[in-house]
Structure 1
């Protein structure tokens, strides 16, 4: 708008009478015309002779100045026209650039929910009536009595699961909204910091592969977090619970891996500042009714990026913690990549990240699997029995190769999560968010 304003002002100025009217450049009548003195009268001139010749001289001067006026007028018109055209072109170019930048910004920052047809609006609208008191970003503070009513006074029949930080209850609110309420265990200052950290990060982050925090509650010493309900619990429950992974086909596992990679890529590449999750594990990967995977539990998350962070208090879960962080306290986004590699091994092998092998002795899945992952003759034999012989062997080798890279002891050898993400897209069927044509895959496996 500023550019258009300048253009209109310029056109108005150059079309105003000051610039469009002919200029009167005739000189004022001289006080005394200089005349060459004659020999007879060096000081006086006959008045009649002056009257006789002066009109011709003045007429010549007027004609001369009129021609000069026309030339100046033409030059001004041409110059103003060119100037106006240049301004107009510059304004058009500026508008074009602004539109392009706006489209690019909208495209790069487009809500992933809109891109894949997932709308958080209905959930938030239903929850709007529960909002009271203060707000932290988009997170609402909820009355304790509402939580009591929605969980039937936190009845044990409504327990969905139990984590290291407390119980999770299913909640049913009056406006037909189902949610999950995490009742945090008392833990002093550490638990308080994690509680505040969770609210702070999830009030800023909204992504299709990150769980939606609807609200929080502080009642006495009790702390509560209210999330969207994830009907299929956690990846840990699906892999290591009663079903032992039977509900997760090969393609569903690849979809889950892709979803987790998308969530991590958003944290590492699109958040400002970048975010290191620091506690990625199968129990913090939640699954909705369609097995869409979402990252949860941001109590340990920290702003980081690619710069090394040292002297960070060691936090995380044994088996998922990267060796450089465990031994030297060095934390980068590659620490999350290592944890992703461990989750990928869980999906591939159906084993826990750390397993007891003898009395007082444990073995990590990385140590056990690494020698066999690179041996094509052994690899098909260590795959989770629930999916054994159900995948294209070429895809199995690809996934194993990605896992091996992600769990490299040296952080610089691990790939960026963006590279991992692009590696998984061709392995996931079209209807699950990837680019794989299942028919082509089936033909390939039969060949």
Structure 2
């Protein structure tokens, strides 16, 4: 320890929550110190709180002295539903008992649970820094407990964060029972009068082999590295990206992680250029990765070219959580593929996602591509990471990263990145400006906690018999696929609790197969539950096929699949709950109170197109939906579209397929499919074109028997007005005068291009997305649509036993799969 009387001494401390594993603790503290050092550059004292850790420093010694300022109380926005007076009294009593236990314990950490009602339990946590004595710890915790009536009275959760201690309570178990991995014991001191071992955040580098017959002028390498370094120092943009070349001989590129500030980006690039210059002095190409940036140069142009080599991999493999490994692996795979499905669609080529695993754990995923890549190359790069570098056998890792030259992917069980609103970043408090040279770090981590509680072990033993039974049922229904979907299976009792025992109040719809209910899981997720009727003779095969298909698809414009229940006679599908019903309700229901504006309709068209693009081109599986229609387009709280109902979908490994059994809904079927059983991507394009025209006109292509008897269906009507150059006459009367006429005419023309009789004349979904996003692209002239088909058939008829009624959640229908 440095001399406490020295004017240059700086004192530091960090503390991790008592249930946090050591490796997670280390990553949390590393992230916190970087943020603190960048935001409190000249402050003589500072403090930062994270979910799993806190870090503090000062120019005066604070060891063994309880500090209660600054104070940071926070509370849940919602009140408890039970008697608040009783709740507050019970909470204070339990929290004081928890504080007593924490003060007396060796690691200054304690948790306690208190039953509130039959269904509600209060979970409490108290912790002090381990430099405090028993009396000092209890004094600090007493001050924190006294803040509860001020900040958190009647609230469903809250916490008080102080420099020397903290408390927290929730109505769910937010901490671990026992410690799944050994924690570092004892307290130790360390002099860190260095710059993080001279190079903070360095991960790896690769240099080409020196070839004296092919060399680069060292001055050119120096020039390009100096240019990149200077560009980073003089930039004020986040997600900084730069590429350049010197005399067409040396090409260089750098990319900073999308969440870091420009100052940290500049520091990272400066370190990277310095190190790569010293490590690769004679190399004609080199690559270096840091935690916050990457940098690359070469004697050939690699711009706009996807590169997967060289690569850097780091996986945190663990043998813990054996009982949850299958579930975790599937959730991780779903999370990674969702990021892959979203990132290519973003201009900054940067994407983060969070996924709730259980009551106490959240998975954080981050992906990024270099910004010179096309959307397709970015998508392929991220998918190559998932399929090649993180195969199914390695998905048991509880954290890891894979870094390519063109893209990166990382996942952890702690928030290692910032988001745009800083809602994942803890508050930081800074004091007066000052300088320091020496930092003294006191490592305060709780000693090894006990292993899994005895009661938890007993609980697992009781469940083992049930799990064995569930595995047998899965094997019987899904065969070899049961190993990959087992983690998505829910117990029937969980679904009963979520839907209030399938009460009438929770019922939101009815399909041909059974009932649809809304519900809330114990972790707060809102779900839509589709329950197959026990007496129904249809739906078993459809149930199996929809589980196997949609579980492998993740995109923001597809309804999210959460899981399923297969128990005795019960067959249940569980989706995210989408509150705004389906598109057909807003277009065709006369009782709908909301009028869709043109902006909303245009965004819905664009969102559906991007969802289809994912199905056709960017998902692991090439999927033909075969039943695109407004009743299968759900709208979330922001009126964003989500494609649902994959009961009729087909997975194909070729451009088209055929079937002897026609399934779907007339009015949306392409003629080659309805008449000959041939389906392809162009079948979905036809259905999408019909929807575009329905969205613009507010008229249904099916359901009007009179119009069809007269041979004047929607397609015929729009085509006639197109020929008469009077397209605006078909516009929904509710929108006239409140729309961009150029966009309306352009969308109608796109719709007509999609419904042309010859499938080869219809545009691809990639072309359609380009038409919608770039108004400068000139559209081809459409040919006559295939409206003749529907003049010959009953427009209200549906195939494969489908109901023609519209409901707010997707119905299940039959599907057959082809191997990919």
Q: Normalising by structure 2, what TM-score?
A: 0.38
102-111 or 323-332: bigger deviation: 102-111
Per the alignment, residue 121 of structure 1 pairs with: 354
Change (3 A) 1:357 1:183: same
Q: State yes or no: 1:408 paired with 2:756.
A: yes
Given the alignment of the two structures, is residue 221 of structure 1 paired with residue 427 of structure 2, yes or no? no
CA distance in 2, matches of 1:412, 1:328: 16
Q: Deviations over 1:223-246 (max 9, x none)?
A: 111111111111112212345484
Task: Tell me which of 281, 286, 307 is aligned to 1:101.
Answer: 307
C-alpha separation in 2, matches of 1:375 and 1:127: 63
Computed over aligned residues only, the root mean square deviation of the Cα atoms, in angstroms, reads 3.9
SS of the residue 1:207 aligns to = coil
2:715 equivalent in structure 1:
366
Q: CA 1:108–1:316 in 2, change beyond 3 Å: closer, same or farther?
A: closer
Partner of 1:355: 703
Say whether 1:159 aligns with 2:365: no
Provide closer, same or farther for how the CA distance between residues 108 and 211 of structure 1 changes in structure 2, counting only shifts above 3 A. closer
Query: Is residue 725 of structure 2 the alignment partner of residue 376 of structure 1?
Result: yes
Kindly name which structure, 1 or 2, has the bigger radius of gyration based on alpha carbons.
1
Tell me which residue corresponds to 2:665.
317
Q: Secondary structure, in 3 states, of the residue corresponding to 1:278?
A: coil
What whole-Å deviation, never above 9, does each CA across 1:386-417 have from its counterpart, x for those lacking one?
A: 21221122222111111111111111111101
| CA distance 1:349–1:138, shift in 2 (3 Å) | farther
Instruction: Give the alignment partner of residue 262 of structure 1, picking from 598, 610, 617.
Output: 610
Tell me whether 1:279 sits opposite 2:654 in the alignment.
no
In structure 2, the CA distance between the partners of 1:311 and 1:407, relative to structure 1 (3 Å rule), is same
Shift of 1:157: 1.9
Distance in 2 of aligned mates of 1:103 and 1:260: 35
**Which ranges in structure 1 are unaligned for 5 or more consecutive residues?**
8-84, 428-447
Alignment of 1:204 with 2:542, yes or no, is no
Report the equivalent of 1:232. 580
Report the CA distance between 1:271 and its aligned residue. Answer: 2.4
User: Which residue of 1 is the match for residue 688 of structure 2?
Assistant: 340
Matches within 5 A, 1:172-211: 172-185=520-533, 191-211=539-559
Residue 200 of structure 1 and its aligned partner are, at CA, apart by 1.3
Distance 1:183 1:304 in 2: 28
- Residue 425 in structure 1 maps to residue 658 in structure 2: no
Q: Distance in 1 between matches of 2:563 and 2:741?
A: 45
Counterpart CA distance in 1 for 2:337 and 2:565 is 36
Alpha-carbon contact 1:376-1:397 (below 8 Å) kept: no
1:149 pairs, out of 482, 497, 501, with 497
Counterparts in 2 of 1:92 and 1:389: CA distance versus 1, 3 Å: closer
What residue is the counterpart of 1:388 in the other structure?
736
Residues 6 and 359 of structure 1, relative CA distance in 2, 3 Å threshold: closer
Instruction: Decide whether aligned partners of structure 1 residues 280 and 212 sit closer, same or farther in structure 2, where only a CA change above 3 A counts.
Output: same
Query: Match of 2:655?
Result: 307
Query: Which digits, 9 at most, give the CA deviation of each residue in 1:315-341, with x for residues without a partner?
Result: 111211111000011110000000101
Task: Give the CA deviation at 1:342.
Answer: 1.1
- Preserved contact between residue 565 and residue 572 of structure 2 (Cα < 8 Å): yes
Offset, 1:272 = 3.5
Contact 1:268/1:305 (8 A) holds in 2: no
Query: Structure 2 stretches of 5 or more lacking a match?
Result: 1-203, 211-279, 289-295, 312-335, 363-466, 472-482, 776-820
On the 8 A contact 2:208/2:285 being kept in 1, the answer is no
User: Aligned equivalents of 1:290 and 1:426: distance in 2?
Assistant: 23
- Shift of the 162–279 alpha-carbon distance from structure 1 to 2, 3 Å rule, reads same
**Residue aligning to 1:294:** 642
Alignment match of 1:399 (pick from 740, 744, 747)? 747
TM-score, normalised by the number of residues in structure 1: 0.67
Distance in 1 of aligned mates of 2:526 and 2:339: 29
In the alignment, is the contact (CA less than 8 A) between 1:267 and 1:276 conserved in 2? yes
Match of 2:342 in 1: 112
Q: Deviations over 1:248-268 (max 9, x none)?
A: 110100100100000000111
Alpha-carbon distance change, 225 to 92 in structure 1, aligned in 2, over 3 angstroms: closer
Residue 197 of structure 1: CA displacement? Answer: 1.7
Q: CA deviation at 1:164?
A: 3.6
- The 3-state SS of whatever aligns with 2:554 is coil
Q: Secondary structure at the residue paired with 2:757?
A: coil
How much has 1:120 moved relative to structure 2? 5.3
Secondary structure of 2:505's aligned partner: helix
Corresponding position of 2:266 = none
Take 1:141 and 1:4, find their aligned partners in 2: how far apart are those partners? 47
Helix, strand or coil at the partner of 2:564: strand
Aligned partner of residue 307 in structure 2, secondary structure? helix
Give distance in 2, aligned partners of 1:112 and 1:376: 39
| SS of 2:695 mapped into structure 1 | helix
Determine helix, strand or coil for the equivalent of 1:225.
Answer: strand
Moved more, 90-99 or 165-174: 90-99
Inter-CA distance 170–127: structure 2 relative to 1 (3 Å threshold): farther
Q: Distance in 2 between matches of 1:119 and 1:286?
A: 24
Q: Output the CA distance in 2 between the equivalents of 1:162 and 1:110.
A: 34
CA contact (8 A) 2:338 2:554 kept: no
Distance 1:344 1:157, change over 3 A: same
How far 1:153 moved relative to its partner?
2.1
Instruction: Write the deviation string for residues 205-236 of structure 1: whole angstroms up to 9, x where unpaired.
Output: 11111111101012333311111111111111
> Hey, what's the Cα distance between the residues in 1 that align with 2:309 and 2:747?
36
145-154 vs 305-314, which moves further: 305-314
- Return the structure number with greater strand share: 2
How much has 1:304 moved relative to structure 2? 2.5
